[in-house]
Amino acid sequence: MDRKLAAILSTDVVGFSRLTALDEEGTVRALTSCHDHIAELVREHGGRVFGSAGDGLIAEFPSAVQAVRCSVEIQRRLLRHFGDVPEERRLKFRIGINLGDVVVSGDDLLGDGVNVAARLQEMATPSGICISGSVREHLDGKIASALTSLGERSLKNIPRPVWVFRVDWANEEQASDGLFGASLAGRFGKDQPSIVIMPFDNLSGPGDGYFVDGVVEEITSALSRVRDFFVIARQSAFTYKGKFADVRDVGRELGVSYVVEGTVRRGGDRLRISVQLVDAERRTQLWSERYEGSTEDLFEFQDRIAAQVAGAIHPAIRSAEIELSKRKPPSSLRAYDLVVRAYPHLWGHNKGGIELAIPLLQDAIAIDPFYGRAHACLAWCHAQNLGYIWTEEPERELELALRAIEAATRSIDDDPTALTAVGGAISHCGDQERAAAFLERALALDPNNAWAWARFGWVASYKGEPHRARERFERAMTLSPADPLAFNMRMGFALALALAGSLSEAVSIAREVVNKHPDVTWPYRMMAAWSSMDGDHETARWAATKLLAAEPDFTIERYMKRPVFRAVPEWADQMAEALRRVGVPER
């Protein structure tokens, strides 16, 4: 049995069944034309097509660089080819590329090397390209497109996790499907320092992991408030937690010039934090410092670290510009400790996580009744229960959320995280104008707050302003390109598209989200309605079946009671009617 190393490129068409149902003969002719273009480009780049399955092709290349260059040219040519075709009739290809060992069987190639490429293709967005880590290793300086890490992923029927990267080939004007092609470093310019604060190493023990993460959270938040910096969101930085990462790779994957690394050791009431600032491209240390003292000095240490990092990068920035002097730390380190313990559960995006977070936040408030961030996070918990219909008592959750909002507003004037939590909670409670005011305050203090930009995007959608929503979600995804909750931003972006009439694109994004995140069920609600509104009844019925299997108690009546529909009654009526058409129960 012969084997060899090869770069495998796999393609397929998004929504091919829907397109053939609309115009079978026209779609088949378009597919044949596309396959001819693809085969021509494969030959031009030194490869060969060795297989096809329905609407997809599989090709091999002797070089990973040639395969990626070919994939980019394929997407560019197809974009030009369909330039005059209505959006809903375009054939959009997804491409996956893997470099691996394959089995040679006559003219065919078999094995995991081929299978991984097919799985990567399934992960790509419409008109998108995903590559494996083995391909990424061969690309430095050899392609013009930026690369974005999507983290380590488990692929169906593949025994080991695979690092996945997105090839950002499209510029923003071309990216009608939500791809963001300009590299971060290029987009924000060399005059604006860009930085990521990596997860610090925990030298204390497993039980202190949450505490170490909290230290990084606060330093990131403090640096984000420097107007002259572009700071990658904590959620993206934490995709590197527990993994070895070369700072140069981190810099290129996230589009930053500087990387902050550190360690934390806590023993009893003693605390030691070591920090270093590294130039990502040159891998040289620019500054380092060690802080030792009582755990009660934690807040002072965090402020000093942020100020000194800022000064080391940009000497013209005075520490006062970080505006840390206004921040009010909790009166009790124990209350802070409890809030930090609650953080991971706040972002779990499921009912169980919220159930774990609420008592921790209640305990923090019992210790420090004036701790604004604890009240704000508690409001966010109750508002999520309300907004995602994770409660059997929506009226009570609304009351609890409003009570926590009012308690928080008395002490969060300068805390962007708390302002964002309150703004998001108010939005779920239905008052979009007031929510916008809190989120605008958060962004005035911290213009690099990806979560605030995302919630601001949802507010725009709930106000019926899809173009503003798209801009805000784009900003959020740029600030946090590897965010574990990127699916929430993608669904927000999809809602903006749906509101603007681009229903098929919105459905494509929703399908991508549910395929990648099977445990997140609420997108099925939107997918079922949007597909029905678009006349794609097959997809609508499929999504409705999935929805009712995951949420047997779901009804249109319960869904329409969500306060977010108050500002867009006509849209709410369209959603309700679309769900009725596919058999979702009224009550």
Q: Does residue 309 share a domain with residue 357?
A: no
The model's pLDDT over 25-78, given as tens digits with 9 standing for 90+, comes to 888 888 999 999 999 999 999 999 998 877 889 999 999 999 999 999 999 888
**Does residue 568 sit in helix, strand or coil?**
coil
The confidence score (pLDDT) of residue 454 equals: 94
Q: Does residue 413 share a domain with residue 369?
A: yes
Q: How many domains does the chain contain in total? A: 3
In a domain, 468, yes or no: no
Number of C-alpha atoms within 13 angstroms, CB side, residue 158?
22
Q: Are 576 and 587 in contact (CB under 8 A)?
A: no
Q: Does residue 316 share a domain with residue 373?
A: no
Rounded to an integer, the average pLDDT of 314-339 is 62
The confidence score (pLDDT) of residue 241 equals: 83
Report d(CA 406, CA 379) in Å as an integer.
9
Higher pLDDT, 167 or 435: 435
The model's pLDDT over 230-280, given as tens digits with 9 standing for 90+, comes to 788 877 888 888 777 788 888 877 878 888 888 988 888 888 888 888 888
Comparing CA positions, the residue from 54, 161, 167 lying closest to residue 112 is 161
Q: Does residue 205 share a domain with residue 159?
A: no
Q: Find the domain containing 227 and state its range.
A: 188-326
The model's pLDDT over 568-578, given as tens digits with 9 standing for 90+, comes to 999 999 999 99
Comparing CA positions, the residue from 237, 252, 136 lying closest to residue 484 is 237
In a domain, 423, yes or no: yes
Residue 372 burial (C-beta neighbours within 10 Å; 0-12, 13-18, 19+) = buried
Q: Does the pLDDT at position 414 exceed 70?
A: yes
- Kindly report which listed range (173-177, 336-340, 486-490, 557-561) carries the lowest average pLDDT score: 173-177
Comparing CA positions, the residue from 184, 255, 86, 169 lying closest to residue 474 is 184
**Does residue 291 sit in helix, strand or coil?**
strand
The confidence score (pLDDT) of residue 316 equals: 47
Tokens for 74, please give them: 């394929």
Rounded to an integer, the average pLDDT of 70-88 is 84
**End-of-domain residue from the set 386, 418, 447:** 447
Q: Which residues contact 93 (CB under 8 A, 6 or more apart)?
A: 11, 12, 13, 14, 34, 38, 74, 75, 78, 127
Q: Which residues contact 396 (CB under 8 A, 6 or more apart)?
A: none
In a domain, 458, yes or no: no
Does this model's pTM top 0.85?
no
Report d(CA 20, CA 333) in Å as an integer.
62
The confidence score (pLDDT) of residue 320 equals: 39
**End-of-domain residue from the set 182, 203, 228:** 182
In a domain, 386, yes or no: yes
Q: Are 473 and 351 in contact (CB under 8 A)?
A: no
**pLDDT-based confidence at residue 176 (cuts at 50, 70, 90):** very low
H-only helix segments in 166-318? 184-188, 209-224, 234-237, 247-254, 298-313
Q: Which residues contact 351 (CB under 8 A, 6 or more apart)?
A: 385, 388, 390
In a domain, 106, yes or no: yes
Q: Does residue 158 share a domain with residue 44?
A: yes
> Angle of helix 416-428 relative to helix 372-387, nearest 10 degrees?
30
Comparing CA positions, the residue from 166, 12, 182, 10 lying closest to residue 96 is 10
The model's pLDDT over 398-411, given as tens digits with 9 standing for 90+, comes to 999 999 999 999 88
Q: Does residue 220 share a domain with residue 106?
A: no
Q: How many residues does the chain have?
A: 587
Cα 495 to the center of its chain, rounded Å:
15
**pLDDT-based confidence at residue 187 (cuts at 50, 70, 90):** very low
Q: Are 76 and 169 in contact (CB under 8 A)?
A: yes
Query: How would DSSP label each residue in 114-166?
Result: HHHHHHHHHHSPTT-EEEEHHHHTT-TTT-SSEEEEEEEE--TT-SS-EEEEE
The confidence score (pLDDT) of residue 228 equals: 63
In a domain, 538, yes or no: no
Q: Does residue 195 share a domain with residue 314?
A: yes
Q: Does the pLDDT at position 459 exceed 70?
A: yes
In a domain, 575, yes or no: no
Q: Does the pLDDT at position 381 exceed 80?
A: yes
- The domain that holds 24 is classified in CATH as 3.30.70.1230
Report d(CA 178, CA 92) in Å as an integer.
13
In a domain, 214, yes or no: yes
**pLDDT-based confidence at residue 337 (cuts at 50, 70, 90):** confident
Q: Which residues contact 573 (CB under 8 A, 6 or more apart)?
A: none
Q: Does residue 147 share a domain with residue 39?
A: yes
**Highest mean pLDDT: which of 81-85, 316-320, 421-425?**
421-425
- The domain that holds 308 is classified in CATH as 3.40.50.10610
- The domain that holds 390 is classified in CATH as 1.25.40.10
Dihedral angle at the C-alpha atoms of 395, 397, 403, 405, nearest 10 degrees? -120
* Rg of the chain (C-alpha set): 25
The model's pLDDT over 342-358, given as tens digits with 9 standing for 90+, comes to 988 887 678 888 999 99
**Portion of the chain with pLDDT greater than 90, in percent:** 42
Rounded to an integer, the average pLDDT of 185-189 is 38
Dihedral angle at the C-alpha atoms of 185, 189, 191, 192, nearest 10 degrees? -60
Q: Does residue 204 share a domain with residue 178?
A: no
Q: Which residue is listed with tokens 């420097």? A: 226
The model's pLDDT over 89-115, given as tens digits with 9 standing for 90+, comes to 788 899 999 999 899 988 889 988 999
Tokens for 519, please give them: 């445990």
**End-of-domain residue from the set 416, 447, 478:** 447
Q: Does residue 242 share a domain with residue 177?
A: no
Q: Does residue 259 share a domain with residue 282?
A: yes
Q: Does residue 196 share a domain with residue 52?
A: no
